[in-house]
Each structure stands twice: as C-alpha cells, then as structure tokens.
C-alpha cells in the first residue's frame, strides 16, 4: 500500500509517509507521535492539540472495532496553491460504519448514560469535517482541520 486517499476536489500539496500502526493499545500513542512530528515538519504545530486528540480517537476506534492491519497518513490540501486544511486518514480492514447511525446515537448534553460513538463526538466537535469511506478492502475514517483560524475557534 502506498497511499490512503479520500476523493476531494482540492489538490494535495504534501503527503506524509504511510504509517503502519501497532495492532493494539499502542496505536493511539504511535499515531499521536507521528502526527505531531509531521505537523512540525509542515510548520503547523498549532494544529497539534486538536489533531493529536482526533488521532487518538480514530486509532482507538480502528483497533477496537476494525481488523488489522491499521494504517494512517496525513495530507495537506490546498486551495489556489495555499494550504487550506490537513486531512488525517486512518484505515483498517473492518466493515466500516454509517456516520448517520453514530451521530444519531449521541445522547443530549447532560445525559450520563453510555452511548456508542462518544469519541467520535469529540472528533465532530474538533474537526472541520469528517467521515468514512470504504475503499475495498479498507474502511477509511478521515478528519479535516483547517490550517487558518476558524470563526469562533481562534
């Protein structure tokens, strides 16, 4: 495997190496470290806190619900030649999931009952956009973060 790709109208300016993740609880920490290092290489360390939390959630979900091998990489997407967003993609051999089903399972604020997809609630709050795509045999889960300040977020 050489790249993980989710179709997008924006061109990809840069792409990280493809990272193979450990098939266990170390996957989240390994991906956080890779993401943090790559953002530093791209001079985008300000995205680190949000994107490393997103990385933890996506890697954890892949290990918890998917099947190995687990892969990940980052893409810098551009608009008119300028960096616009960074996309994290995590892949596994699981069947995937319907985003609408997960979002529909979220309980109202203040509810203490456990609900499926709570980690993805964090992803939804932090990412500018996220979703899933099945590219046989892989399920890809991706999240975008804008490289420029977002209204109400900095």
pTM of this structure: 0.81
Is 66 within a domain? yes
Please report, for the domain that includes residue 68, its CATH number. 3.30.565.10
Q: Is 153 contained in some domain?
A: no
Q: What is the pLDDT of residues 101-138, one digit of tens each?
A: 666 565 565 555 555 557 888 898 999 999 988 888 88
Within a domain: 95? yes
Within a domain: 131: yes
pLDDT tens, residue by residue, 31-48 = 999 999 999 999 999 999
Which structural domain range is residue 47 located in? 12-146
How many separate domains does the chain show? 1
Residue 49 lies in a domain: yes
Q: Which residues have a Cβ under 8 Å from the Cβ of 26 and sit 6 or more positions away?
A: none
Least Cα distance to 132 among 58, 49, 34 occurs for 58
Do the domain assignments include residue 60? yes
């Amino acid at each position: 495997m050489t790249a993980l790709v989710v179709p997008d109208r924006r061109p990809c300016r840069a792409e990280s190496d493809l990272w193979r993740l450990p098939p266990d609880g170390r996957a989240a920490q390994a991906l956080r470290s890779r993401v943090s290092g790559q953002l530093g290489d791209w001079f985008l360390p300000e995205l680190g806190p949000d994107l490393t939390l997103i990385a933890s959630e996506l890697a954890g979900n892949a290990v918890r619900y998917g099947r190995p091998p687990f892969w990940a990489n980052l893409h810098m997407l551009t608009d008119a030649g300028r960096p616009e967003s960074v996309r994290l993609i995590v892949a596994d051999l699981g069947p995937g999931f319907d985003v609408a089903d997960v979002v529909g399972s979220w309980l109202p604020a203040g509810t203490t009952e456990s609900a499926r997809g709570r980690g993805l609630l964090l992803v939804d709050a932090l990412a500018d956009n996220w979703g899933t795509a099945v590219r046989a045999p892989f399920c890809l889960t991706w999240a975008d973060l804008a490289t420029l300040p977002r209204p109400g977020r900095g």
